[in-house]
Amino acid sequence: MADPRLQKLAKVLVNYSLAIQPGERFILKGPAIAAPLIKEIYREALRAGAHVSTLISIEGMNEIFFNEASEEQLQYVSPFNEFQINHYDTQLIIIADENTRALSNTDPQKQALHSAAQANISKRFIERAASNELRWSLTLYPTQAHAMDAGMSLSDYENFVFDAGLLDQDDPVAAWKKVQEEQQHIADYLDKHNEIHIVAPGTDLTYRVGGRKWINCAGDKNFPDGEVFTGPIEDSANGYVNFSYPAVYNGNEVENVRLVFKDGKVVESSADRGEDFLNAMLDMDAGSRFLGEVAFGLNYNVKRFTKEILFDEKIGGTMHMALGAGFPETGSSNESGLHWDMVCDLHEGKVFADGELCYENGKFII
């Protein structure tokens, strides 16, 4: 018998996050270990009238690819991937790893080469999403590997995941609509300001956002959700930032990342562990040293760092910034094969908007 929380999650994803309509082409992607959730979503999407395609992956395939692929194969762009990014109306990706560090010993230069080759597909995805031609969402199915990363038992981690998505509520959709209303107040406030100044231990950074749009995320593109974000003016970031949480990307964990920005660009970088990987990603392409996203985490049900960015970037009392590709709907024009979110604790920090204190001790005070 399926976990009733999975059934509730499937209903929310299909009917609220993706809002699937009859006749739409829907592609559902996830690893085999997530079969219990995949089946529930498949059932719910059929009931909604979608034409459903599934793409099920097997653990270990990416590791084999990066170990065996030639340079030509690393740079190959699959026509199947091009087709699906251009022709589907809705897409859902399920994260569910059996080994979250499967790529930690693969050559970072190979990973960078492959990511750079997929930049046009990433760009097309971002374009279709920005114009609402493609509606998409991302969620997670709890596994032992994710629970171990979070330092929890599987049952405790399952509770953490479902509670972060407000699935403990009688009506999760109503709960997310309330979140949307509360976060819109913050987005509207930030939309009226030009310069953001962040001060925290090891961090003193300014960037400009005048003319850019702050996006309110309340359970649609990510599930769980809870943030507001925008794309900063590309040449505006100046100062330094120390990311208090480890930065995790493609199974590689980089500790104590420190970045210095001048006129928008990372001009100095260091890390206590994983510095070679950090620098390989920064050197991926022309846009990878610039910020594509700046954001504030507002989900106060996510109370701990778990080494899974879907949750960590939403932690209430944090900010995160993504190096690389920005989202056109914010006004960002930064393009890159990279989009790497890094999280900084602001519980001891302050944020100023055009010189006005608007955030203190992990919360907006507007």
Mean pLDDT rounded to a whole number for the chain: 97
Single out the residue in 139, 164, 189 at which a domain terminates: 164
Same domain, 15 and 130: yes
Determine what percent of the chain is predicted with pLDDT higher than 90. 97
Q: How many domains does the chain have?
A: 2
Residue 170 domain-assigned? Answer: no
Same domain, 153 and 182: no
Q: How far apart are CA 296 and CA 365, in angstroms?
A: 13
Same domain, 244 and 204: yes
Same domain, 70 and 198: no
171-220 pLDDT, tens digit per residue, is 999 999 999 999 999 999 999 999 999 999 999 999 999 999 999 999 99
Please tell me the predicted confidence (pLDDT) of residue 335. 95
245-296 pLDDT, tens digit per residue, is 999 999 899 999 999 999 999 999 999 999 999 999 999 999 999 999 999 9
Q: How far apart are CA 50 and CA 46, in angstroms?
A: 5
Side chain identity at residue 162, one-letter code: F
154-164 pLDDT, tens digit per residue, is 999 999 999 99
Q: How far apart are CA 13 and CA 22, in angstroms?
A: 15
331 in Cβ contact with 114 (< 8 Å):
no
3-state SS record for 222-274: EECCCEEEECCCCCCCEEEEECCCCEEECCEEEECCEEEEECCEEEEEECCEC
pLDDT at 125 over 70: yes
Mean pLDDT calculated for residue range 101-121: 92
Number of H helices, E strands in the chain: 12, 20
Q: How far apart are CA 263 and CA 265, in angstroms?
A: 6
Beta bridge partners of 340: 323
Mean pLDDT calculated for residue range 307-311: 97
Give the predicted TM-score (pTM) of the model: 0.93
Determine what percent of the chain is predicted with pLDDT higher than 70. 100
Same domain, 155 and 222: no
pLDDT at 1 over 60: no
- CATH of residue 75's domain is 3.40.1830.10
323 in Cβ contact with 340 (< 8 Å):
yes
Mean pLDDT calculated for residue range 285-310: 97
Same domain, 76 and 223: no
Same domain, 145 and 188: no
> Any idea what the Cα angle at residue 34 is, between residues 133 and 21, rounded to 5°?
30
Q: How far apart are CA 229 and CA 51, in angstroms?
A: 32
Please tell me the predicted confidence (pLDDT) of residue 273. 96
Same domain, 56 and 185: no
Domain coverage including residue 54: 4-164
Same domain, 309 and 354: yes
35-80 pLDDT, tens digit per residue, is 999 999 999 999 999 999 999 999 999 999 999 999 999 999 999 9
Same domain, 138 and 195: no
Please tell me the predicted confidence (pLDDT) of residue 251. 87
